[in-house]
């Protein structure tokens, strides 16, 4: 197999008004993803619909599977042959995919999984939420594994991060989860689509037919004494490498901040506006926004701590990323929390009120 260079036929930069769901789909197309399997669920339906149209245009494969379980296993099948494969869903559907994600991890297969989170538990509702953070960042399925998890906060990032996710997935033979929410999926914003050609390394491990070469074996069943422990240690080494290379975060006005809001995704957009309003009222506020939710930027966050700094974690959940912030800061008294859940979105006023009260 040779290195392949992929050129995009419609290689012209354009700025268009599209939904986050569509931006995500286009990011996958631009990354050279030519296999999509999914099952409809609100609030990510525009994504499935977009792929049904776009895959046809680029001679890719679009399958509306009979279930979420089938979709993730189709992605498994495509990935094992070396294809760039994508599945997308929303919270209840992502729960159904967990077995497949664990198997992908067990076989070290790259794949991109998009979760446009909605309120839970159970069927919950169809409004935006961030309550799948634990599931996404701590594994989700069975076994000692991690997916790389990226948290976009705009339609542009839905595009950029999805395109980047395929590179990360291939580089480490690992699953990558794009953790968005109902707002990011359904809102429209201007997005710059800037096609680029890409160099892709051959996947020597892929099952492509073993004529004239040694057969590749890909499986997650390791019964031989000690083999599974050995495999898990190898996985951990890979995760250590990912922790070294793939940590991403954004700081905003944190240099002299006495209170730092920690938030990702939609919550971080709202929190950023709160920082500006607090600054106008002479309150030294800043924002720390984890972009890679796994690996979590523990050290970068800790380095913002000047000893007396207060931290306010804002989430659309009852407090999940909060635990990672506590782990980073190691002083629970200074780590505060404000969350809305069940599909509710925090307002600027609520966050500002909480920030003022915990600064006292």
Q: Max alpha carbon distance in the chain (Å)? A: 72
By rule CB under 8 A, what string of x and - marks binding of each residue 30-59 to another protein? ------------xx----------------
Instruction: Check residue 192 for interaction with another protein (CB under 8 A).
Output: no
Length, in residues, of the chain: 360
Q: Which of 14, 40, 56, 190 binds another protein (CB under 8 A)?
A: 190
- Position 269 contacts another protein (CB under 8 A): yes
Residue 151 · residue 179 · CB < 8 Å: yes
**Coil vs helix vs strand at 45:** helix
**Would you give the binding string for another protein spanning residues 107-126, x where CB under 8 A is met?**
-------------------x
Q: Identify which range of 134-142, 200-208, 234-242, 266-274 contacts another protein by CB under 8 A.
A: 266-274
| Selection from 293, 259, 287, 254 nearest residue 273 by Cα | 287
- Other Cβ atoms less than 10 A from the Cβ of 263: the count is 29
- Per-residue binding string, another protein, 135-174, x by CB under 8 A, is ----------------------------------------
- Residue count, binding to another protein (CB under 8 A): 21
Query: With the C-alpha atoms ordered 23, 25, 27, 29, is the resulting torsion angle positive or negative?
Result: negative
Asked if residues 138 and 164 have their Cβ atoms less than 8 Å apart, the reply is no
- Residue 266 binding another protein, by CB under 8 A: yes
**Which residues does residue 154 pair with via DSSP β-bridges, in sequence order?**
none
273 part of the interface to another protein, by CB under 8 A: yes
Per CB under 8 A, which region of 138-146, 159-167, 185-193, 318-326 contacts another protein? Answer: 185-193
Instruction: Say if strands 85-89 and 111-117 run parallel, antiparallel, or are unpaired.
Output: parallel
Q: Which residues contact 211 (CB under 8 A, 6 or more apart)?
A: none
Contact residues for another protein, defined by CB under 8 A:
15, 17, 42-43, 126-127, 183, 186-190, 266, 269-270, 272-274, 345, 347-348
């Amino acid at each position: 197999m040779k290195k392949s260079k992929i050129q995009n036929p419609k290689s012209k930069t354009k700025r268009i008004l599209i939904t986050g769901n569509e931006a995500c789909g286009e990011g996958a197309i631009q990354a050279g993803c030519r296999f999509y399997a999914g099952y409809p669920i609100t609030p990510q339906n525009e994504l499935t619909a977009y792929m049904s149209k776009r895959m046809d245009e680029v001679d890719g494969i679009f399958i509306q599977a009979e279930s979420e379980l089938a979709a993730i296993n189709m992605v498994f099948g495509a990935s094992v042959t070396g294809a760039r494969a994508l599945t997308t869903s929303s919270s209840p559907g992502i729960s159904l995919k967990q077995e497949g994600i664990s198997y992908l991890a067990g076989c070290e297969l790259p794949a991109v999984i998009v979760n446009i989170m909605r309120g839970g538990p159970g069927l919950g509702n169809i409004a935006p939420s961030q309550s799948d953070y634990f599931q996404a960042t701590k594994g989700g399925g069975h076994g000692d594994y991690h997916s790389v998890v990226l948290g976009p906060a705009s339609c542009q990032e839905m595009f950029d991060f999805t395109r980047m996710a395929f590179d990360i997935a291939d580089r480490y033979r690992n699953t990558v989860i794009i953790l968005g929410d109902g707002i990011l999926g359904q809102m429209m914003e201007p997005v710059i689509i800037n096609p680029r050609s890409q160099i892709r390394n051959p996947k020597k491990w892929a099952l492509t037919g073993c004529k004239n070469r040694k057969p590749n074996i890909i499986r997650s069943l390791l019964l031989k004494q000690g083999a599974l422990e050995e495999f898990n240690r190898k996985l951990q080494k890979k995760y250590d490498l990912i922790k070294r290379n793939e940590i991403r975060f954004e700081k905003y006005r944190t240099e002299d901040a006495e209170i730092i809001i920690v938030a990702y995704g939609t919550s971080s957009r709202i929190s950023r506006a709160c920082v500006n309003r607090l600054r106008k009222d002479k309150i030294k506020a800043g924002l720390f926004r984890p972009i890679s939710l796994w690996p979590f930027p523990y050290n970068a966050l800790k380095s913002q701590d000047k000893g007396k700094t207060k931290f306010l974690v804002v989430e659309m959940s009852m407090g999940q990323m909060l635990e990672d912030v506590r782990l980073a800061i190691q002083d629970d008294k200074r780590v505060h929390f404000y969350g809305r859940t069940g599909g509710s979105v925090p307002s600027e006023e609520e966050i500002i009120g909480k920030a003022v009260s915990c600064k006292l």
